[in-house]
Chains A and B, each alone.
Chain A
Amino acid sequence: MTLSTGLNHIATANELTKIVNENENVMVCCGRMGPMCIPVYEVMEEIQDKYSHVKFFDMAFDSPEAHIIRNLPECKTFAGLPFTVYYKNGKVAKATSSIQNMDQVTSILDKELNS
């Protein structure tokens, strides 16, 4: 199960855990190829080069492996796709639900994942 984005894809929970543990700054957008998710993927695609200290990934929301994101305490009140999670040093620094624009994404990156 993959998403048709220009981002690197995380397929399994183990893979996500490894990436988060091995990288200081990670942003993962967990969604579908739908109206609220696509704009977030596109923002991430646009800023990948500018934020070279951050690793950007997508993950399919409907994959059973995405339980690792769906069950995060930070996402327990979420009821809108996508679930976007920002990790710093192996921990969740911020999580957002539903569509986000460039300003919203970059302000979180600048605040939470600024190396």
Chain B
Amino acid sequence: MENYFDVIVIGGGPAGLTSGIYLSRAKLKTLILNEGAAGGQMVLTHEVANYPGIESISGYQLSRNMRKQAEKFGCLVKSNIKVTNLSLSNDVKSVEINGSETFFAKSIILATGGKSRTIGAKGEETFKGKGISYCATCDGDFFQDKNIIVIGGGNSALEEAVSLTKFASSVTVVHQFDHFQAFESAVSEAKANPKINFIMESEIQEFIGNEKLEKAIIKNMRTGEISTKEIDGAFILIGYVPNTESLKGIIELNNKNEIITNDLMETNISGVFAAGDSRAKRYRQITTSVSDGTIAALSAADYIEKQKEEILV
């Protein structure tokens, strides 16, 4: 029976770990299966300063605390696994990992989160770590007195562009639209910085270099004009996409490939719930993921209780 659980949570970010805390504290046998490092995108946050009750903490430390708390209540966490098969339609759900081991549960919580969006330009993968980065905090200091571009037009892109001016001699923001999605304060700060300039309505076509990144080919989307810009680095900060690729055809998704739920985090499949950034919703914060994870856990516990009652009747 060791492979049988009350609830399997797929995803170990703040939503999944919170579910794990609530479920295991309620004495439900719970397994968290996580494809990457526990903590999800929370680990990628340098400083979390808006988590109630904690003035400031690194995303890494907060994720470690959450995992430790879940494990203390008896939750089993398996990280760096790969879900290779998922069967959700029957009363007993099954999850196969690494093509070899299968786990069973009465209920499933999908908390698969999101991943950094890539632009898909030619050369992007080749120059990852050799000029292309997705984390300004991590890699900014490699670009002291260099010319770099930041791709994106949201808050993180503009805030990081400003932060990168501490190192770089020039920062060019390349954005696909004629306006930014960021808050006005972030736009104003970036525009006021003399080291930052802007290329609007444009997309990167290709990254070019020998051993490291040297040039970007940029296309103006309005005029079709192609230009070449000599650069030393490129920071791609264009948000996140939900990790729901493997759920297509299994569970109901919207046109952005986000899982559709109601307020109780119920999906279209009985006994299957969703929580966190893979769910269709407007605001994506650690706190909203924690809220989703709580609701999904309570809903899953309620579902299991009702199943028991039905069997008794």
A108 CB to closest chain B CB (Å) equals 14
A64 located at the interface, meaning its Cβ lies under 8 Å from any Cβ of chain B in the complex: no
A72 and B76 alpha carbons, distance in the complex (Å): 40
A63 located at the interface, meaning its Cβ lies under 8 Å from any Cβ of chain B in the complex: no
A68 and B44 alpha carbons, distance in the complex (Å): 27
- Whether the Cβ atoms of B138 and A36 lie closer than 8 Å is yes
A96 located at the interface, meaning its Cβ lies under 8 Å from any Cβ of chain B in the complex: yes
Stretch at the interface among B129-137, B175-183, B283-291: B129-137
Interface size class of A (residues with CB under 8 A): 20 to 34
A35 CB to closest chain B CB (Å) equals 4
Note all chain B residues with C-beta closer than 8 A to A76: 211
Q: Which residue of A36, A47, A77 contacts B139 across the interface (Cβ within 8 Å)? A: A36
B218 CB to closest chain A CB (Å) equals 20
A88-115 near B? 1/0 per residue, CB < 8 Å: 0000000011110111000000000000
A13 and B212 alpha carbons, distance in the complex (Å): 27
- Whether the Cβ atoms of A80 and B80 lie closer than 8 Å is no
Q: Which residue of B46, B82, B131, B132 contacts A35 across the interface (Cβ within 8 Å)? A: B46
Note all chain A residues with C-beta closer than 8 A to B131: 79
A19-43 near B? 1/0 per residue, CB < 8 Å: 0000000000000111111110011
18 contacts between A and B (CB under 8 A): A33-B60, A34-B135, A35-B44, A35-B60, A39-B36, A39-B37, A42-B37, A42-B38, A79-B130, A79-B142, A79-B143, A80-B130, A80-B133, A80-B138, A80-B142, A81-B138, A81-B139, A98-B129
